[in-house]
């Protein structure tokens, strides 16, 4: 119906305890007046139902009001009927999805976010909860916003309030197949592989100090890699197998990959670590693409050198572009997740760049940051709810929800 339409309409709202059959009872009661239904929306919060319907019932408004009150009385609910003209106002351009994650999430957080939205003259059209545990996630569907400006101001709120806030284009831009590219060390897994290897050489502290400098962006990554790998000279190649067995996935990693694959997404990993560890891990998880450095091994011993071009900051971004081209996806359909300075180029190149428990320099430049220790929280930034994840797991695996690993 065009915005200028002036047909008289009624907005009906029923509230009360949820139960099966509320919607049917309402529309059964109204069947005698043959209403034209323009819109219906229903929400349930802790067993309390709110059902709204926008109807065109020209000339029978009083009769409809009486019927609605009768239906509400029979259901033990409260009803309101409001007269107006035309359909819903068309939603303004500039649609943005704002995702708010907190543990806990407080009224102060919602006040700060909604205040920024209002201050930009934007409108909150819908709010829904995406998860309750282990973090609470709320999604705002907003229209009339300038994404870049809003994202900048919400980043300031996130830093000041200690809460995670993500802003991304809404509508069709949020749907469809994507490529998700992840860093490995301290992102997909909890460990730094080179430090695990260095522990077998008795040089873990030395290597860890260099790693930290590189991740903060204080040291050129390629130079730091060569220095750290040199400390591994002489290690038996059998150590690689022991390290593969020792790595610990980040909580939620399997859930993230499993859910993305169910959606038909392409998943990739890029690492400044070593393909000898990364590829078996990718194969185990069903990850589509893997890119990492290759250790030189001669006569069953690590030589302390790497082969070929180093997968550094620029190499990670190049891999993201290559994987996207292979999958026929534009960069706007890519997501990059990382924690260190060597992830910055791919985070900036991706359509959505996510800093995961990252260094300050990465959080400052990424589109959004996730600071909870659960990798599957990334799903909420894509508009996927915890309930949808668990329902899919139940369908595949039986009657109990699998553990979050």
Measured CA to CA in angstroms, residue 49 lies from 21, 26, 76 at distances of 12, 13, 12
Query: Phi then psi for 190, rounded to 5 degrees?
Result: -85, -10
- Whether 183 sits among the annotated catalytic residues: the reply is yes
The active-site residue out of 5, 18, 125, 183 is 183
Identify the CA nearest to 126 among candidates 101, 150, 143. Answer: 143
The catalytically annotated residue of 185, 339, 345, 367 is 185
The answer to whether 321 touches 331, Cβ cutoff 8 Å, is yes
Do 164 and 112 touch, CB atoms closer than 8 A? Answer: no
Pairwise CA distance, residues 39 & 209, whole Å:
60
119 CB contacts (<8 Å, ≥6 apart)? 153
Beta-sheet strand order (sheet of 36-45): 36-45, 48-56, 8-17, 78-85
Catalytic-residue membership of 146: no
The residues annotated with a catalytic role in the active site are 183, 185
């Amino acid at each position: 119906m065009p915005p200028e339409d002036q047909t008289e309409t009624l907005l009906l709202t029923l509230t009360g305890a949820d139960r099966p059959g509320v919607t049917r009872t309402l529309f059964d009661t109204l069947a005698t007046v043959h209403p034209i239904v323009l819109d219906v929306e229903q929400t349930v919060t802790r067993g309390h139902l709110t059902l709204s319907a926008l109807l065109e019932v020209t000339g029978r408004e009083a009769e409809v009001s009486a019927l609605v009150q009768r239906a509400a009385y029979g259901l033990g609910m409260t009803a309101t009927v409001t007269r107006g003209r035309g359909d819903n106002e068309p939603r303004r351009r500039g649609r943005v999805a704002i995702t708010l994650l907190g543990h806990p999430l407080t009224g102060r957080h919602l006040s700060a976010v909604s205040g920024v939205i209002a201050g930009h003259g934007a409108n909150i059209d819908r709010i829904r909860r995406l998860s309750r545990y282990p973090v609470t996630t709320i999604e705002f569907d907003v229209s009339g916003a300038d994404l870049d400006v809003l994202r900048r101001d919400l980043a300031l709120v996130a830093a000041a309030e200690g809460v995670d806030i993500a802003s991304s284009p809404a509508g069709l831009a949020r749907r469809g197949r994507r490529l998700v590219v992840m860093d490995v060390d301290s992102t997909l897994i909890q460990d730094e592989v080179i430090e695990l290897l260095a522990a077998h050489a008795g040089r873990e502290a030395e290597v860890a100090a260099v790693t930290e400098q590189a991740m903060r962006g204080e040291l050129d990554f390629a130079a730091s890699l060569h220095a750290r790998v040199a400390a591994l000279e002489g290690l038996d190649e059998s150590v690689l197998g022991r390290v593969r067995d020792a790595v610990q996935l980040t909580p939620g990693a399997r859930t993230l990959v499993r859910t993305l694959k169910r959606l038909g997404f392409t998943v990739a990993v890029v690492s400044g670590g070593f393909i000898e560890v990364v590829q078996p891990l990718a194969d185990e998880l069903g990850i589509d693409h893997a890119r990492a450095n290759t250790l030189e091994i001669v006569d069953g011993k690590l030589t302390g050198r790497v082969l070929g071009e180093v997968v550094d900051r620029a190499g990670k971004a190049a891999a993201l572009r290559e994987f996207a081209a292979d999958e026929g996806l534009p960069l706007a359909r890519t997501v990059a997740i990382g924690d260190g300075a060597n992830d910055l180029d791919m985070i900036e190149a991706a359509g959505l760049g996510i800093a995961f428990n990252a260094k300050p320099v990465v959080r400052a430049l990424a589109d959004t940051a996730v600071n909870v220790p659960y990798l599957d929280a990334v799903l909420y930034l894509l508009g996927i709810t915890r309930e949808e994840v668990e329902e899919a797991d139940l369908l595949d695996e039986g009657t109990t929800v699998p553990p979050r690993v």
